[in-house]
Structure 1
Amino acid sequence: MGQLKRSDVQPHDDYGFFGPGSVVWKVWSYPSAPTVGFQRAVVVEELDPPLVASVHNTQGIYERPRTRYDRTLRYFAMVAFAGTKDVCKAADVLVKVHSKAIGKLPYDEDAQGAGTSTVGTYDANDPASQLWIQLTGWHSILYAYEKYGPGKLTEAEEREYWEACAVAAELQTCSPDDVPRTREGVRAYFEEMRPKLAASPIAKQAMRHLLKTELVLPPMKWWEKLPAYVSARTLRIATLATMPRWMRKMAGLPHSRLLDVLVVPVMRLSFAVVHRSPHLELELISRLSPSTVPVIAPMKLGVPPLNEEVLTPAEARARHGYPRPADAHHDLRARQAARVFDKGEAASEEGLLESQEVLGRLA
């Protein structure tokens, strides 16, 4: 990507749900977010049996890893930085897309991942699954920022961060009331989830696959391949270093104490250098997720929105005419459930084509 000019950037309609000066913009705009933070989130998520069943059923991460990474990162970036109308539309269409991700669990939910049959089901729109995605994502972004970035937030900033996480949860099918508002509350949530996590064969397969950063990189010239591979492997080590040892052991992932220590100064220096240049940050994003560049470019290059205001999700829904995701498309979800569970057919593709306009291309 050539250097993006400020005059070429399309402004957002408004500042979204957080805006300049917010702790969300501070943490999510650091280069640790779309790299280590995001990779950690999608890897850790796979230990949840309903979620990994959905991922395995669609096969998207295996068949089109680059576009899947691109679309998912774009959505997370939109929640943090895009205008409220675009975010509301994305949240609405995502409910349609997730309506396809339903079925029977292929493995049981015991933490050892024994892989016995079960009659349980999964639904990507289930509030419990959405809460797991929400908290794993926001916690991973913050953890990467603290470990490889400027360090821990102040007490006031941390309170603001988790309040913001609850605001963002209104764009999912989960309830913001279920989002912890403190670090201790977040720890308690993950401790409660720990017995429910399972390193099943499909979870281990997905986690190993998602740690291969090189799979989401664009085609490149021969002389670019070696440095790109080294960078991808370093990022993998950095992501592994953020994961608890019990989790890595459960999933059969490497856990070298020496590499855990050595990678920290490397990543801190690398991210600090990149963060000094907005254009360098945009170049990094363009390699990983091209469709995310228009989302974050206005913030990085100081392009103000058409309306310099920050809205709440309730205000945005009222203004733009969207229901809460938890209340959206119940007819479609019921039709999909009838196809899958009553008729034994595959779910329809409804919502997928529509999502390309909002989340980026499918292939």
Structure 2
Amino acid sequence: MKKTREITPHEDYGFFGPDSITQKVWGHPAVPLMGIVRAVTIEELDPNLLAAVHDTGANYDRLDTRYARTVQYFAAVAFADSRTVTKMADVLVKIHSKAIGIEPVSGNRYDANDPDSQLWILITGWHSVLTAYETFGPGKLSDAEVEQFWAECAIAAEFQTCDPRAVPRSREEVRAYFEAWRPRLAASEATQRMMHHLLNGADAVLPRRGLLGVMRPVANALICRATIATLPRHMRRLADIRQSRATDVVVISIMKVLMAAVDRSHPLKRWIFGIIAPKALSIVEPSWQGIPPANPVVLTPAEARERYGYVQPALAHLELRARQRARVFDDHQAPSDEGLIESQPMLGTLG
């Protein structure tokens, strides 16, 4: 008799129930492939974010680890229970407290916990995931579904230091947000190198042995080209990315067929997550299998913070953030690693 694999139910539904647009969109297999790749690539056009990421060198040294942790965090916000997400959000503020310094082109200070930077990351991430879903998945959401999607994004904003009221609520408002950001986008040589590296991230994430190792160059090319096909032309110019419209059409057609096949196969979805972000499997599987949580309720972020004893991320760890600023800007020392070690049980090892 075949042994049934046991799946542990979540403690509760977290902040989005099974009927939410968030779980509908974030659960599609195009999300951990083209959606997140698109998000982390576009983010680098913010000079402050580029400086924060570039200074650590982690995207070059351990891209597979960073990508897995990113996928796991976003999956947790959409699917995990309230205790897990609230704790993760608190630790994330600690992690970001060390991502501070001087942006080399402008000479201005940057801080990863800055509300504008956090809003840029949030909107870019959710918009990229929606773009991947609509491009490679079932198709366009209705206007009502899009409005619900962005209303739910505002809930997710409460787990970062940005203001939930600043989240756009419609396609038009999202377009206006990105249009307002255009004068702030910039691409140095470091930016272009980073964006090309991230677009080819599958080459670092996928195994190098066995059948998948043989197929790795093909998989990398498809994911890279498919992600580029979703990028606006002005972003491609900044990043020095060249791809014809014909290539866009062909690769989108191929990936739509592949993603439809994967979406119909639970083993294939598990296999993809197992490669990209294995720790995310236990987060998304209860939803995939329709397994209800121990307590089938949806909480608000405020209810969860009160229940578990946390404050809003914008007000969290102010003393630590002040110490980090003093170390970097006054004492000219490297920031401490406080928060990084604490994050490993939740987001996976840094090594």
TM-score bracket, shorter-length normalisation: over 0.9
Give the alignment partner of residue 238 of structure 1, picking from 209, 220, 226: 226
| 1:293 paired to 2:291 | no
Runs of 5+ consecutive residues of structure 1 not aligned to the other structure: 108-117
State whether residues 66 and 215 of structure 1, in contact with CA within 8 Å, keep that contact through their aligned partners in structure 2: no
Further displaced range: 241-250 or 333-342: 241-250
State whether residues 100 and 325 of structure 2, in contact with CA within 8 Å, keep that contact through their aligned partners in structure 1: yes
State whether residues 65 and 215 of structure 1, in contact with CA within 8 Å, keep that contact through their aligned partners in structure 2: no
CA offsets, 1:275-322, max 9 Å, x none?
A: 112221011111111121111111112222111111111111111111
Code of the aligned partner of 1:165:
C
What's the offset of the Cα at 1:222?
Answer: 4.1
Q: Which residue of 2 aligns with 1:354?
A: 342
Q: Which residue of 2 aligns with 1:54?
A: 52
Q: Which residue of 2 aligns with 1:279?
A: 267
The SS at the match of 1:103 is strand
The SS at the match of 1:144 is helix
Further displaced range: 146-155 or 6-15: 6-15
Alpha-carbon RMSD across the aligned residues, in angstroms, is 1.3
What's the offset of the Cα at 1:7?
Answer: 4.3
Q: Which residue of 2 aligns with 1:128?
A: 116
Q: For the residues of structure 1 that align with 2:337 and 2:36, how far apart are their CA atoms?
A: 27
Q: Which residue of 1 aligns with 2:32?
A: 34
Give the alignment partner of residue 142 of structure 1, picking from 120, 130, 136: 130
What's the offset of the Cα at 1:254?
Answer: 1.9
Q: Which residue of 1 aligns with 2:303?
A: 315
Give the alignment partner of residue 61 of structure 2, picking from 44, 47, 63: 63
What's the offset of the Cα at 1:90?
Answer: 0.3
State whether residues 103 and 122 of structure 1, in contact with CA within 8 Å, keep that contact through their aligned partners in structure 2: yes
Identity %: 52
Q: Which residue of 1 aligns with 2:93?
A: 95
Code of the aligned partner of 2:191:
A
The SS at the match of 1:181 is coil
Runs of 5+ consecutive residues of structure 2 not aligned to the other structure: none
Q: For the residues of structure 2 that align with 1:135 and 1:219, how far apart are their CA atoms?
A: 31
| 1:22 paired to 2:10 | no
Matches within 5 A, 1:113-262: 118-262=106-250
What TM-score do the two structures reach when normalised by structure 1? Answer: 0.94
State whether residues 7 and 286 of structure 2, in contact with CA within 8 Å, keep that contact through their aligned partners in structure 1: yes
Code of the aligned partner of 1:288:
I
Moved over 4 A (4+): none
